[in-house]
Amino acid sequence: MRFLIDRCAGRRLSEFLRQDGHDVLEARELGPDPGDQALLARAAREERVLVTLDKHFGQHIFLAEREHSGLVRLPDVPAAERVTLMRQVLKAHVEDLAASRVVTIRGSRIRVSDPPRGLESE
């Protein structure tokens, strides 16, 4: 699976995903922070699941209906727990990620959401 790891998600998570055999690009490797919308657009172009702690990406996907290739949100998850929780997501929700769904982890709860399909042409 291909991932784009936001700066706030941490290097440890990136290293875990690489060791697990995934194609990982870290936002910090891309230079100065391009902003949420540009990061989401890059993940979509490169068909990468974006992993972040930032709550605003949900607004971009659900309210602004921005294109994306899946999202894992880890708001309020301490750094020490991120790898363990991501391991659980990969074990139980890899099909959801492949289907570009949004996976949100809060505490021990994992919620999977289908983003809006966008407006259909008339």
Report if residue 30 sits inside a domain.
Answer: yes
Closest CA to 77 of 67, 85, 89: 85
Beta partners for residue 5, in sequence order:
26, 51
**pTM attached to this predicted model:** 0.87
Segment 83-108, tens digit of pLDDT = 999 999 999 999 999 998 999 998 77
Query: Rounded distance, CA 78 to CA 31, Å?
Result: 25
What is the number of structural domains in the chain?
Answer: 1
> Helices in 20-66 by DSSP H: which ranges?
36-45, 56-62
Beta partners for residue 65, in sequence order:
none
Report if residue 118 sits inside a domain.
Answer: no
Domain carrying residue 48: 2-113
Report if residue 122 sits inside a domain.
Answer: no
Amino acid at 33: D
Segment 41-64, tens digit of pLDDT = 999 999 999 999 988 777 767 766
